[in-house]
Amino acid sequence: MTAADRIDELRRWIAEADRAYYQLDAPTVPDAEYDRWIRELQALEAAHPALSRPDSPTRRVAGAPSPAFAEVRHAQPMGSLRTVMADDEAAVAAFVERIRKAGGEGEPRFSVEPKIDGLAVSLRYENGLLVQGATRGDGATGEEVTANLRTIRALPLALRLPPGQTPPALLEVRGEVHMPKAAFERYNAQAIARGEKPLANPRNGAAGSLRQLDARISAGRPLAFFAYGVGQVAGLELPPTHSATLRLLGTFGFPLAREIDVATGLEGLLAYHRRIGAARAALPYEIDGVVYKVDDRALHEVLGSTGREPNGSIAHKFPAQEELTVVEGIDVQVGRTGAITPVARLQAVSVGGVTVTNASLHNADQIARLDVRVGDTVVVRRAGDVIPEVLRVLPERRPCRADGSPQHPAFALPAHCPECGSAIERAEDEAVARCSGGLHCPAQRKQALLHFASRRAMNIEGLGERLVEDLVDFGAVKTVVDLYRLSLDDLLAMKRRADARDGVMAETVKSGKIPTRWAENLLGGIDQSRNTTLERLLFALGIREVGEATAKQLARWFGSLDALMAADVEALLAVPDVGPVVSARIHGFFAEPQHRAIIAELRAAGLHWPEGPAQGMAQGPLAGKSVVLTGSLDSFTREVAGAHLEALGAKVVGSVSKKTALLIAGEEAGSKLDKARELGIEVWDEAALIAFLQAQGRLPSV
C-alpha cells in the first residue's frame, strides 16, 4: 500500500470513528486504536508533506455540532491539547525543555490540574451576566446549550463581584461540565427504582444530559462544572499567570477543581502526575489524566500553537484501567461496507467504574493473534478510559477437557452473514471480511442510509439511527432513493407499527391526537437535500475508499457525474491522490448496474447538483503553486480559505518547505511563519488574502 493510500484509509477510518462517537453517541473503536491512527497519520503527513491537506483530521478538533441545536461560532477557537501517553516521560521532558529554551534561564513554572472527564463548554458573560453557553463542538463551531447550562446550580448566572466593582464588558469562561461519581450513582439508583434506564457512565451522562432539547431534563440531572481558562476578554485586565487567572475566576464564583496546583520543572510535573494518579480512585469525579500549562500567560502566547493545539500546554494521560473477565460468546456485527466485526460477549465486569459486557475484537486476524475463545479469561481494558477492548488472554485459565485439550474450539468467522444469509468473503489483501449481500443486507442498508443522511453528506435533518432502523425493518425504505418517495402517510403508518411492536402509545395518541410535526420536519429535511453538490453526493453514495477529500477532488477534476461514471481506471489514476486501490473501487462502483440505476432514480426524484466543465489539472492564477495556511483567520475558517485557493489552482499543503510558494499567516501564526521568513517565501496576511480573492471575484468587493 502506498503512503497516499494509507493516508486516505486512515482519514476515512478516523472520519467514520468521529461520526460514530460525536454525532451518533455510538463509539466504534477503542480510544487507544483511534490515538494510534492519529499518530500514524501525523507521522505519514510529516514524512510526506505534499500529501497533507487542510481537511485532515490531524488539523482539527474531532467532533461536530448536532443539527438539533443552533450553531454557535466561537469568537476564539476552542483548541484541543496534545496528548502524552502515561508512560511517555520522554515526551514530557521534551515539552519542558522546549518551554525552558523559549522562556530563558531557570526551570519553567506550570499551572497543573486534573483532566476532568466531561464535556468542554464556553460561557459568555456580557457586563457580568451569562448570555450564552456553547459546547466545544469541532473547535470552531459548537452547539448553543445556554438554557441547559443555566440549570447547573454551581454555575454563576452573574459574576460575583465586590460592591462597587464594574463588571467586565466581556468575559468568556471555559470549563468542563461533568457528573460527580456519587451523584451519578444516586441518580442511577433512583432511575432504576422508577423503572427507567440508568446512565451508562458519568462522562456520557454529562454529555447526554447537557445535550437535551428540553432543559427541564437537564435540570433533573446532577451536573457540575469546573472552570479551566478564559477565551475572549474585554474590560478586564487579567493577572500575568494562568494560576492567578484561575484564582480570579474563583472569586467571580466559578467552581475550580481542588487539585489545581503549580509545579516547577520536569520533576514537579511528574510528581504531580504520580500524586493525582494515586488519588484518582478516591476523587469525587472521573479524570483521565492531568494537564500542564505554562503559568506565564505572556510566554504561553509567545509559544503560539500548532494547528489548534497550544504549544504551551499538554495533557498527560493515565494508564488505561484493566480488569479480568470471562468470554461468554463471540458474535459478529455487520457495518455499512459489509465489514464483519467480531464482538466478545463478556461476563459483566466493572472497569473504571463502568459495567462492561461487550468488547470489539476488530477482525479475524486480531482474534487469531489473541487466540480468544469462548470460556477464556481475558484482560479487558477501557482504552482511553472509555471504550472496552480485549487486551490479552490468560491461557493458563482456559477451560480444558480431561485429556488437556481446550473445551472450546478456536473461533472461525461464519460462512454466511447473520443478517441476510449472504456469503462472507475476504479479499487476499484485506484484514476485514465482508458480507457480499450489499444493500440486500438489512444491516448494510441501515448503515448506508445513516451515512447518506449524515451532516457532511446529504445533511438530512431528523433522520436518526432509531428512525432508520424502523424504516428498514418495516420495509418503508430499501435504497436511498426510497427516502425521496416517502409520504406523510407512509411515516405515520410506520410509526403506528413501531409503537405497536414496542407496546407503547403516546399520551397524545390516547387522547385522539396524532402528532405529525416530526414527520413533516423529516419530509422537509429530505426535500431540502434535493439541492446538493456533486462532492456531497459522491461522499454520500458510500463508495469504499472515497472520503470527503477524495469526493471533492473527483468533483473538481471531472466536473460532472456523467464524466466520472464514464472514466476508466487509467483516467481515474490521473486524479491527484487517487491510487490503484481507490481508482479500482470507484470504477467498480460505477460499473455495477444497480448503482447506475440508483443514480438515475435519484435524478428522477429531483436531486440536483451544479456541474461544470472538467478542470483536470487546476487552472488559475495559483495553478501549480503550493500554499500553506497558518494561524487563525477572522473572516472565515482556514478550510473555507483553502477551498477558495484550490478553486484558483493552488495546492493547499500543511507544512512549509522550499517548494512552498506562498504562506497565508493569520493570528498566532507561530513556527510556520518563522520558517517561511527564513526560506524567503512570500507571506500574505488576512487583508492581502481578502484583497486577492476579491480581485479574482471569489469575494464581493467592499
pLDDT digits (tens, 9 = 90+) for 434-483: 888 776 788 888 888 999 999 889 999 889 888 999 998 898 998 899 99
For residue 587, pLDDT over 50 is answered with: yes
The model's pTM is: 0.46
Catalytic residue among 115, 446, 625, 672: 115
In a domain, 432, yes or no: no
CB contact set of 641 (below 8 Å; sequence gap of 6+):
629, 633, 664, 689
Residues 229, 141 share a domain: yes
Instruction: Fill in the DSSP letter of residue 633.
Output: -
Position 578 scores a pLDDT of 85
| Catalytic residue list contains 115 | yes
Do 246 and 309 reside in the same domain of the chain? Answer: yes
| Statement to judge: residues 205 and 257 lie in one domain | yes
Shared domain for 133 and 227, answered yes or no, is yes
The whole-number pLDDT of residue 1 equals 80
Domain with residue 390: its CATH number is: 2.40.50.140
The confidence score (pLDDT) of residue 45 equals: 83
464 found inside a domain: yes
User: Which residues lie across from 135 on neighbouring strands?
Assistant: 121
Per the structure, the complete domain to which residue 635 belongs is given by: 626-695
Percent with pLDDT over 90 in the chain: 33
**What is the average per-residue pLDDT within 527-551?**
90
Distance CA 694, CA 205 (A): 48
Model pLDDT, residue 63: 36
* Residue 62 pLDDT exceeds 50: no
In a domain, 189, yes or no: yes
Mean pLDDT comparison of 142-146, 389-393, 490-494, 657-661, highest-scoring range: 490-494
Residue with the bigger pLDDT between 355 and 347: it is: 347
Domain end (from 502, 528, 554): 528
**Which ranges constitute the DSSP H helices of 71-223?**
89-103, 146-149, 181-193, 202-210, 215-219
Is residue 537 scored above 60 in pLDDT?
yes
How confident is the model at residue 565, as a pLDDT? 93
Asked if pLDDT for residue 680 goes beyond 60, the answer is yes
**Which DSSP helix (H) or strand (E) runs through 275?**
helix 265-279
Question: Is the pLDDT reported for residue 17 higher than 80?
Answer: no
The closest of 194, 79, 59, 195 to 136, measured between CA atoms, is 79
Read off the pLDDT band of 227 (50, 70, 90).
very high
For 145-201, what is each residue's pLDDT tens digit? 888 888 887 888 889 888 888 999 999 999 999 999 888 888 888 887 787 777 767
Residues 150 and 207 in one domain: yes
Among candidate residues 528, 543, 569, the one where a domain is terminated: 528
Q: What is the mean pLDDT of residues 57-85?
A: 70
Note whether residue 9 is domain-resident.
yes
Chain mean pLDDT for the chain: 85
pLDDT at 260: 95
Whose grid coordinates read 500574505?
684
Answer whether 443's CB lies under 8 Å from 334's CB. Answer: yes
User: Looking at residue 543, what DSSP letter applies?
Assistant: -
Number of CB atoms found within 10 A of residue 142's CB: 26
- Least confident range from 30-44, 78-92, 255-269, 360-374: namely 30-44
> Are 252 and 108 members of one domain?
yes
Arithmetic mean of pLDDT, 205-219: 81
The answer, yes or no, to whether residue 527 has pLDDT greater than 80, is: yes
Q: In this predicted model, which residue has the larger pLDDT, 66 or 4?
A: 4
Answer yes or no: do 555 and 519 share one domain: no
DSSP lists the bridge partners of residue 381 as 322, 389
What is the pLDDT confidence band of residue 85, given thresholds at 50, 70 and 90? confident
Q: What confidence tier does 23 reach under pLDDT thresholds 50, 70, 90?
A: very low
Residue 422 lies inside a defined structural domain of this protein: no
In degrees, rounded to 5, the angle at the alpha carbon of residue 16 between the alpha carbons of residues 13 and 22 is: 130
Angle at 44 between CA 12 and CA 433, to 5 degrees: 40
Based on the fold, state whether residues 110 and 206 are members of the same structural domain.
Answer: yes
**pLDDT recorded at residue 18:** 63
Cα–Cα dist 473/478, whole Å? 10
Q: Give the count of alpha carbons within 13 A of 511, CB side only.
A: 5
Question: Which of 607, 336, 605, 608 minimizes the C-alpha distance to 486?
Answer: 605
